[in-house]
Amino acid sequence: MPINAGYEFFDAEKKYLEAESADDKIFYLEQMLKLSPKHKSSEKFNAELKTRLKKLKEKQEKSQKKSSGKKGIRKQGFQFVLIGFTNSGKSALLAKLTNAQPKISEYPFTTTHPEIGTFYHEGIKAQIIDQPSLNSENFDIGLANNSDCLIYVITSFEEIEKIQKQTPKAKGKKIIVVNKADKLNETQKRKVRATIKSKRIDGFLISTLSEENIPELKSKLFQETGLIRIYMKEPGKPASPTPMVLQPNSTVKHVAESILKGFSKNVTEVKVTGPSSKFPNQKVGLNHVVKDRDVIEFHTR
């Protein structure tokens, strides 16, 4: 363990040690590498981290090759599920938003089993699942019903009602993406955008090919997760650039305890600057509810 590493390093290390999936392990190991001090005495340590990362990535590649085609999905954190009719571009969208490499083709019913991808965005992550299309024998209604948010991938507005009719028990939120914008001319695009606005459809016109509105969709997905990014600050130093990620409605105590179990007992003063504070450096108690992008400074005994 390197000397002079900050809170964030230890937070990433803790999450790395607790991580169950290879994806998560790789994600936190990369964060550890970013956050570990770059001075002479930690060179050996950093080299070890890099070797570990390389091995993990190789192992993951091998297991991805072996496991593609197998069933069984464990819900991890916030889960989005892609839904739509064949050829609407679900798999192409999964490939755009995550590290997954699903089969994409112009033939109908290309996807024959659910495919998982991990969506990383500005320090947070969520699961995105690509499903075989509706009307395919492998379509899994359970996945649609249990997701936190369904992403309808459509190419015409009539599909919305059809999807709703086929998924009456889906409780999660719904986002609608009208795909293949690149096939439309400006007049057609304007019409689609006008319909989205007038029908108050929660979504966008996108294209996985030209990447139109893909960045906007990523921000929207991040907002839907409700996850909160907190930036730690040590007294007298600038805030850390890497956030700590917490569940919606977390308090200062949750932040303290996720740094180190029992840490909140040592806290003598907390200062918050950001969306949850009335003014910069507001002193708050452990029960203060934090908001996304807060900067928090702990004083300890």
List residues near Mg ion by CB under 5 A: 90-91, 110-111
Q: Which is nearer to ligand GTP, 53 or 214 (CB)?
A: 214
Alpha carbon 14 to its chain centroid, in Å, reads: 19
Q: Which is nearer to Mg ion, 110 or 213 (CB)?
A: 110
Q: Which is nearer to Mg ion, 11 or 115 (CB)?
A: 115
**Sign of the C-alpha dihedral computed for residues 16, 22, 26 and 31 taken in this order:** negative
Provide the minimum distance between the beta carbon of 132 and ligand GTP in the complex, in angstroms, as a whole number.
6
Provide the minimum distance between the beta carbon of 79 and ligand GTP in the complex, in angstroms, as a whole number.
18
Triad 213, 79, 139: Cα angle to 5°: 90
Query: Cα(231)–Cα(29) distance, rounded to whole angstroms?
Result: 19
Provide the minimum distance between the beta carbon of 91 and ligand GTP in the complex, in angstroms, as a whole number.
3
Beta strands 267-273 and 294-300 are antiparallel
Half-sphere exposure at residue 291, Cβ-oriented, CA atoms within 13 angstroms: 7
Query: Cα(173)–Cα(171) distance, rounded to whole angstroms?
Result: 7
Query: Cα(88)–Cα(78) distance, rounded to whole angstroms?
Result: 24
Q: Which is nearer to ligand GTP, 86 or 146 (CB)?
A: 86
Provide the minimum distance between the beta carbon of 196 and ligand GTP in the complex, in angstroms, as a whole number.
16
Residue 33: its H or E element: helix 22-35
Q: Which is nearer to ligand GTP, 148 or 212 (CB)?
A: 212
Provide the minimum distance between the beta carbon of 103 and Mg ion in the complex, in angstroms, as a whole number.
7
Alpha carbon 270 to its chain centroid, in Å, reads: 28
Provide the minimum distance between the beta carbon of 183 and Mg ion in the complex, in angstroms, as a whole number.
18
Alpha carbon 167 to its chain centroid, in Å, reads: 24
Query: Cα(204)–Cα(152) distance, rounded to whole angstroms?
Result: 11
Q: Which is nearer to Mg ion, 10 or 109 (CB)?
A: 109
Provide the minimum distance between the beta carbon of 104 and Mg ion in the complex, in angstroms, as a whole number.
7
Report the partner that residue 182 touches, choosing among Mg ion, ligand GTP, none (CB closer than 5 to 8 A by kind). Answer: ligand GTP
Distance between start and end Cα atoms, the chain: 24
Q: Which is nearer to ligand GTP, 36 or 208 (CB)?
A: 208
Q: Which residues bind ligand GTP (CB under 6 A)?
A: 84, 86-92, 104-106, 108-111, 133, 179-180, 182-183, 207-209
Helix axes 90-97, 214-225, angle to 10 degrees: 80
Report the partner that residue 258 touches, choosing among ligand GTP, Mg ion, none (CB closer than 5 to 8 A by kind). Answer: none
Helix axes 7-18, 252-259, angle to 10 degrees: 80
